[in-house]
Homo-oligomer: A and B are copies of this chain.
């Protein structure tokens, strides 16, 4: 297959850019002296994850047990399920471990730890549990100075479970766009997570792993003393949200949606395309950032960025492409019916999830379908 033979809309991966992104992150982790554990929620795609592992990643991070199950089948044993464990999901986690998967689960409360202990004892399973640490008030986790941290570790340890480590995610890093802020958040993530580990160790409990990460902090951290591994996901594709945060150029965005012009409203300067929010996702992550890209930034089919043209609006299977500022009343001549465009997405995780497969475009012009899965 070639680019020209693809039906639209299609989720296109520029394989050279993807490999550049993988190499960039892995090199950085090597320099910082930590293991790298990519978050596979971004792509849920075997070929992408294989490229990440081949470049030097050690183990993966997942956001659902389905990801754990699928990637275990494709040969990956070392998996962290980085969402707080819902007690009813323990049987699925147990089934994975019994099949030989080195699955780590996460807890951030005494109630959750007690549920894990009760279930683990009942089934004679010593679960490895990582305790989630809250370093920025973003979402889940226990603050490093909160004694709940020690209570959870104690419940797990005394209950016969294995306290494997601590894990933090500085999700608030997405809210900034200046390097000095990212450096500050990265240091806050590092020091908070290390402090939590030290408190657990000081209480005489084990805590081998100190796991942190988000794409912006992974790229901004000045040192990672005390950290053993980093997790990041969206870096493999990058996107417009990350571009606004300041960690990638638009020329590094590896994911785009290929679309065809199907109509115009010339008076308004609109071209209508056959990719709407179903193909782009409803993610409007750039809405409150320094530049709002609407539903995406328009490129020619070749990939050349047309800086002024955005997908300014979207319905389910219709997108409206228009020029920022003054309407382009010659848009019908510029992009006649049948013209193919690529749209760079706001958020690669959300856009990828709308598609059953990626179309991987190699430098030689060939295209290969890389399936991705969804659901829970």
Contact = CB atoms under 8 A, between A and B. Distances in A.
A272 B140 contact: yes
B260 A88 contact: yes
Interface stretch (A16-24, A192-200, A245-253, A316-324): A316-324
Interface stretch (A52-60, A70-78, A109-117, A120-128): A109-117
Interface string A8-48: 11100000000000000000000000000000010000000
B171 A315 contact: yes
Interface string A260-304: 101111001000101001110111100000000000000000000
Interface stretch (A159-167, A180-188, A352-360): A352-360
Contact of A356 (B264, B268, B338, B375): B375
Interface stretch (A79-87, A94-102, A204-212, A219-227): A79-87
A265 B146 CA distance: 12
Contacts of A140: 262-263, 265, 272, 318
A228 interface: no
Copies in the assembly, this chain: 2
Interface size class of A (residues with CB under 8 A): 35 or more
A282 B264 CA distance: 27
Contacts of A109: 263-264, 337
A309 interface: no
A376 B282 contact: no
A8 B66 CA distance: 12
30 contacts: A41-B316, A63-B316, A83-B317, A84-B274, A86-B260, A86-B262, A86-B274, A86-B338, A87-B337, A87-B338, A88-B338, A109-B337, A111-B336, A111-B338, A112-B337, A137-B268, A139-B320, A140-B263, A140-B318, A277-B283, A277-B350, A278-B353, A281-B281, A281-B282, A282-B282, A282-B284, A282-B350, A353-B354, A354-B374, A357-B375
Closest 7 pairs (CB-CB, A-B): A282-B282, A84-B262, A356-B375, A63-B317, A111-B337, A86-B260, A282-B283
Interface of A: 7-10, 41, 63-64, 83-89, 92, 108-109, 111-112, 115, 134, 137, 139-140, 171, 260, 262-265, 268, 272, 274, 277-279, 281-284, 315-318, 320, 336-338, 347, 349-350, 353-357, 374-376
